[in-house]
Amino acid sequence: MPRAEHNISRADISDNALKVMYRLNNAGFEAYLVGGCVRDLMLGHKPKDFDVVTNATPEQIKGLFRNCRLIGRRFRLAHIVFGREIIEVATFRGHHSDDTALAKQDEQGQLVRDNVFGSIEEDAERRDFTFNAMYYEVANFTVTDFAQGVKAIKRREVDLIGDPDLRYREDPVRMLRAVRFAAKLDMTINPRTAKPINELAHLLSNIPPARLFEEILKLFLSGSGLKTFRLLKQYKLLEPLFPILAKVINAPDSREMALIERVLENTDERVNTGQRVTPAFLIATLLWYPVEEHATKLQAEAGLNSHDAFNIAMGDVLHRQSQRIMIPKRFSTVVRDIWHLQQRLPRRFGRRAYQLLSHPKFRAGYDFLLARGETEGGKILELAEWWTQFQQAAPGAQKKMLTSLRQQEGKAPRKRKRPSKAKSNNHA
- The residue annotated as part of the active site, out of 49, 165, 337, 367, is 49
Is residue 51 part of the annotated active site? The answer reads yes
Is residue 49 part of the annotated active site? The answer reads yes
Is residue 128 part of the annotated active site? The answer reads yes
Q: Are strands 116-117 and 93-94 parallel, antiparallel or unpaired?
A: antiparallel
CB 173 within 8 A of CB 211: yes
- The residue annotated as part of the active site, out of 12, 15, 40, 51, is 51
Q: What is the 3-state secondary structure (H, E, C) of 183-221?
A: HHCCCEECHHHHCCHHHHHHHHHHCCHHHHHHHHHHHHC
Helix (H) / strand (E) containing 228: helix 225-234
CB 267 within 8 A of CB 346: no
CA angle 272, 273, 276 (to 5 degrees): 90
b/e per residue 387-413 (b: at least 16 CB within 10 A): beebeeeeeeebeebbeeebeeeeeee
Query: How far, in Å, are 61, 107, 236, 242 from residue 257 at the CA level?
Result: 49, 34, 15, 13
Neighbours of 36 (CB within 10 A): 19
- The residue annotated as part of the active site, out of 128, 145, 159, 268, is 128
Q: Where are the alpha helices (DSSP H) in 12-148?
A: 15-26, 36-43, 58-64, 120-126
Using CA atoms, how far apart are residues 159 and 169, in angstroms rounded to an integer?
Answer: 16
Helix (H) / strand (E) containing 81: strand 77-82
Is residue 88 helix, strand or coil?
A: strand
Using CA atoms, how far apart are residues 138 and 141, in angstroms rounded to an integer?
Answer: 5
Active site members: 49, 51, 128
